[in-house]
Structure 1
Amino acid sequence: MTDLVQQDVRTQETRAMSVTATKSRYQSAEFSDRLRRRYAAERRFRLAGMAAVGIASLMLVVLLGSIVGKGYTAFWQTQIRLEVTLDKTQVEEGNYMPVLRQALYAVVPEVTDRAGRRSLNELLSSGAPYQLEAMVKANPSIVGTKQTVWVLADDEVDQFMKGFIRRDVPESERRLNDIKIGALDKLAAAGAVKSAFNTTLFTAGDSREPEQAGIWGAIVGSFLTLVVTMLLSVPIGIAAAVYLEEFAPKNRWTDLIEVNINNLAAVPSIIFGLLGLAVFLGFFGMPRSAPLVGGLVMALMTLPVIIIASRVALKAVPPSIREAALGVGASPLQTVAHHVLPLAMPGILTGTIIGMARALGETAPLLMIGMVAFIVDIPHGLTDSATALPVQIYMWADSPERAFTERTSAAILVLLAFLILMNGLAVFLRKKFERRW
């Protein structure tokens, strides 16, 4: 009994000595210095991360601020009010421009020389007669009467009214001469000049004249292209992912296919454009600059993305789901179709939408197949000549007029809105239908 007591005392003394030694080690100056350096490194790493996020956010704000600052003015368009007399003879002959000019000369009667009136003619857009013609066609009873109409001003007038052309510089250095500015001042004093929402931007196709140019044709072309892309890439991509993940044997051939799919996802998009140019246009003779060809090229480009995203979603389904379905007598096909695929569908939809968003923003493949052509008419079918919104932005950015610069930024804002909407939809679907195992 005494030995046991002595042994217990020695054990307690050993433990006390060990605790004391441990405390002395952790309370030493060396340990405190190491702990201080570790905390300092963690703070530096945290600050570096916050600085990176701050710099990225600042660059994003600067970029968006620059685009918005240059593009928001394109959503407003200058219009001029005129009192026109719709002479029956001129209307029947389709001469609407003389009608508008006579109304403009009546506002500025002091300008009588030929050169001055030619300058006045340049205040109106070349599309103004078509506005008047459309009004007459909508209501033929106004022929022979006097009407008040608001017509589009020329793009240089629009830029002057928005402050991009200064009046305090010499006449030889600005696009508007003194006669035009004097006429605009007189019209503005009479309340005959206003800035209205630019509906033309969203209802018209492309044009050589900035005030008549719109993005509706490009939007329709992008929509038709995405329809073809979705109809081809989504079912083929999901079916390929299901086969490779659920049914394909694991051998060197499937390994080779998987490697090629992963490599194709990293191939530059212009390579797919070259493929479309050589195969679809050169070999099959399909129509150039058509949404059908653009959709085929985009489908090839988005297929690897959809396959990879779908396989990841299928892998995320727990094996116990498959085992339970097989255990109650379901066939492998029933297991995949009734249990695995529905559970993986949120991830598949997310990958599909992101792939479509990438296709919407691509430009290089469409340039290679001729969708950079100047298209005025709105496409009505998959084989009609068309362009796409990113290509429209590319063409407008190359135009020298200041009015096209603001329309380029406005088109970028519209494209960004579509991309944000599609990515937001992907996030919403993932959050709504995602299941955690």
Structure 2
Amino acid sequence: MTDLTQEQVRERIERRLAGRHRVEKTFRGLGIASIAFGILAVVILFSDIIAKGSGAFVQSAVQLEVHYDPAVLGIEQVDEESLTWANFTGVIREALRERFPEVSGRSEKRELYSLVSTGAPFKLRNRLQADPELLGRSETVWVAADDDVDTFVKSLSDSGGGFRGRTSDRMIRWIDQLLASGELKKRFNSNFFTNGDSREPEQAGIRAALVGSLLTLLVTLALSFPIGVAAAIYLEEYAPRNRWTDLIEVNINNLAAVPSIVFGLLGLAIFINFFELPRSAPLVGGLVLTLMTLPTIIISSRAALKSVPPSIREAAMGMGASRMQVVFHHVLPLAMPGMLTGTIIGMAQALGETAPLLMIGMVAFIVDVPGGVTDPATVLPVQIFLWADSPERAFVERTSAAIMVLLSFLIVMNTSAVWLRKKLERRW
């Protein structure tokens, strides 16, 4: 009877263990499936962005034989005032008519002129300004094609079909002739990195947005890092434990979860309406992002200070060091890697923010590159927002390419934070 009871107990235990193992395997499988699904989603997202944005790094260009005819340009010498009023558009059009002499009629000429970007005359102006000896001479130059032509050329498949858009049949015949003769090619799009924003997709670039982001982040870093570290040191090393410090800690933790647009409203009300600081300036953007990143930096800095063993403080005080010497000579250097990691993560978060900057007017159309923190500027996420709202098809690849650049900066910053933590942290 006893043996039979033990057998039953053993079977019951084995059934329970088998059930636990099944649950554990199921849970492990769900975890692996979740990770695989997340990786798949990221791969699909990145593949879609790269597929749409890679075309922005090349630009269709047309080869023209231009003649800097003083009569067409309407100038007799090369100086700043003459170049301002010179008719470089006429030079471009004359070169196109010479290339296609069979074109006649106003409508045909209008279509012919639309093969070339409206920004092409500015390239000729810069070349003549750099080399005044070109006046009265001819040269072969590559000028950017119009965005409709560029979209059609990039969409051409092996079967010959392409996205027509506003491209007429006559324009397609001219494009085919230029492609067959090698006078229409896809070249590296340097304008994307050297130009500011433009209403013409082929002339639009991210330089102004990149400089605006850099200036905004410099202001944010210059304010948030010392203030955040100082607040963390006070709360962790000096502040007494009472209801007031508990209230401050709770509010700091709550501020870290506040929607970013609330900080934009705060910046609009205080920095612009009350202090009357300039709108759409990196200074105001940096102040708003400072308020947003301070909770993150304070929390990470306090965590870094807590990770320093109490024995370090006790040993330093036992050697006769003052409270300030203990903090700044022993505790702070050991906690600095964690503080830097939290700061870099906070800066990466600030780099990708859009909503608070929209509230302070950094959504303006900015062409010129800002020269200081008080000049009108925009930032890369806002530039992406503006391009995504543009109706032209060519802005789709510009938007995706700008996202690629932004993601590259974010990946570099987060990778740097991980590397610093692994390189500098100490195991106690």
CA distance in 2, matches of 1:216, 1:85: 31
Q: Is the 8 A contact 2:155 2:162 kept in 1?
A: no
Q: Which residue of 1 aligns with 2:186?
A: 195
Q: Distance in 1 between matches of 2:161 and 2:301?
A: 62
Counterpart for residue 153 of structure 2 = 161
CA distance in 2, matches of 1:241, 1:400: 48
Could you tell me how far 1:182 is from its partner in structure 2?
Answer: 1.1
Query: 2:36 aligns to what?
Result: 54
Q: Alpha carbons of 1:169 and 1:156: their partners in 2 closer, same or farther (altered >3 Å)?
A: closer
> Could you tell me how far apart the structure 2 residues matched to 1:42 and 1:27 are?
22
Instruction: Kindly indicate whether residue 109 of structure 2 is the aligned counterpart of residue 117 of structure 1.
Output: yes
Amino acid across the alignment from 1:291:
P
The answer for the alignment partner of 2:128 in structure 1 is: 136
When residues 428 and 411 of structure 1 are mapped into structure 2, their CA distance, relative to the original with a 3 A threshold, is same
Q: Is 2:153–2:162's contact at 8 Å kept on the other side of the alignment?
A: no
Amino acid at match of 1:78: S
Taking the TM superposition and a 5 Å limit, the aligned residue runs for 1:139-218 are: 139-163=131-155, 174-218=165-209
| Further displaced range: 283-292 or 99-108 | 99-108
Matched residue, 1:381: 372
The equivalent of 2:308 in structure 1 is 317
Task: Tell me, yes or no, if the aligned pair for 2:148 and 2:165 is still in contact at 8 Å.
Answer: no
TM-score by length of 1: 0.92
Question: Paired residue for 1:70?
Answer: 52
| Deviation sequence 1:288-325 (CA, Å, 0-9, x none) | 00000000000010011100000000000011111111
Quote the offset at 1:24 in angstroms: 4.5
Q: How many residues align?
A: 416
Q: Contact 1:269–1:301 (CA<8 Å) still a contact in 2?
A: yes
- 1:112 Cα offset (Å): 1.1
State the 1:225 CA deviation. Answer: 0.3
Q: What is the DSSP-based 3-state SS (H/G/I as helix, E as strand, rest coil) of the residue aligned with 2:93?
A: helix
Which residue is equivalent to 2:350? 359
Runs of 4+ off more than 6 Å: 164-167
CA RMSD of the aligned region, Å? 1.9
Matched to 1:49, the amino acid is G
Deviations 1:23-44 (A, max 9, x none): 9469721111111111111111
**Alpha carbons of structure 1 residues 335 and 37: separation in structure 2 relative to 1, 3 Å:** same
Structure 1 pair 227–164 and aligned structure 2 pair: CA distance change class (3 A): farther
**Partner amino acid for 1:162?**
K
Distance in 1 separating the partners of 2:197 and 2:143: 19
Give the structure 2 partner of residue 17 of structure 1. Answer: none
Which residue identity lines up with residue 34 of structure 2 in the other structure?
A: A
User: Match for 1:127 among 108, 119, 125?
Assistant: 119
Q: Which residue of 2 aligns with 1:10?
A: none
From the superposition, tell whether residues 332 and 163 of structure 1 become closer, same or farther in structure 2 (CA, over 3 Å). Answer: same
Q: What is the deviation of 1:426? A: 0.3
SS of residue matched to 1:149: strand
Distance (Å, rounded) in 2 between the aligned partners of 1:366 and 1:125? 32
Secondary structure of 1:28's aligned partner: helix
2:66 corresponds to 1:84: yes
- Does structure 2 retain, via aligned residues, the 8 Å contact 1:290–1:384? yes
Q: Distance in 1 between matches of 2:254 and 2:179?
A: 62
Shift of residue 142, structure 1, vs aligned partner: 1.5
After superposition, the C-alpha distances for 1:79-122 in whole angstroms (9 at most, x for unaligned) are 00001111123342511111111111111111111110110010
Distance in 1 (alpha carbons) for counterparts of 2:153 and 2:125:
26
**1:202, distance to aligned residue in structure 2 (A):** 0.5
User: What amino acid maps onto 1:126 in structure 2?
Assistant: T
Gap regions ≥5 residues in structure 1: 1-19
Deviations 1:310-346 (Å, cap 9, x if unpaired)?
0000000011111111111111110010110000011
Alpha-carbon distance between aligned partners in 1 of 2:232 and 2:222, rounded to the nearest angstrom: 16
What is aligned with 1:398?
389
Taking the aligned partners of 1:323 and 1:179, their CA distance within structure 2 comes to 85
Q: Secondary structure at the match of 1:395?
A: helix
Q: What is the deviation of 1:167?
A: 7.4
Per the alignment, residue 107 of structure 1 pairs with 99
- 8 Å CA contact retained: 1:201, 1:213: yes
Residue in structure 1 matched with residue 319 of structure 2 by the alignment = 328
1:94 is matched with which residue?
Answer: 86
Rounded Cα–Cα distance in structure 1 between residues aligned with 2:8 and 2:405: 61
- Distance in 2 of aligned mates of 1:216 and 1:57: 32
1:425 pairs with 2:416: yes
The answer for unaligned runs of 5 or more in structure 2 is 76-84
What CA distance in whole angstroms lies between the structure 2 residues aligned with 1:431 and 1:225?
Answer: 28
- Which of 328, 332, 336 aligns to 1:345? It is 336
8 Å CA contact 1:397, 1:408 repeated in 2: yes
Paired letter, 1:52: S
CA offset digits 1:195-217 (Å, max 9, x no partner)? 01111000110000000000110
Q: CA deviation at 1:174?
A: 3.6
Is the contact made by 1:80 and 1:150 (CA closer than 8 Å) also made in structure 2? yes
The Cα of 1:432 is off from its aligned counterpart by 0.5
Give distance in 1, aligned partners of 2:161 and 2:249: 66
Summarize the alignment of residues 295-314 of structure 1 with structure 2, pairs less than 5 Å apart: 295-314=286-305
Higher deviation after alignment, 24-33 or 223-232: 24-33
Deviations 1:142-201 (A, max 9, x none): 11111000001000000010017997699xx74111111111111112110110111100
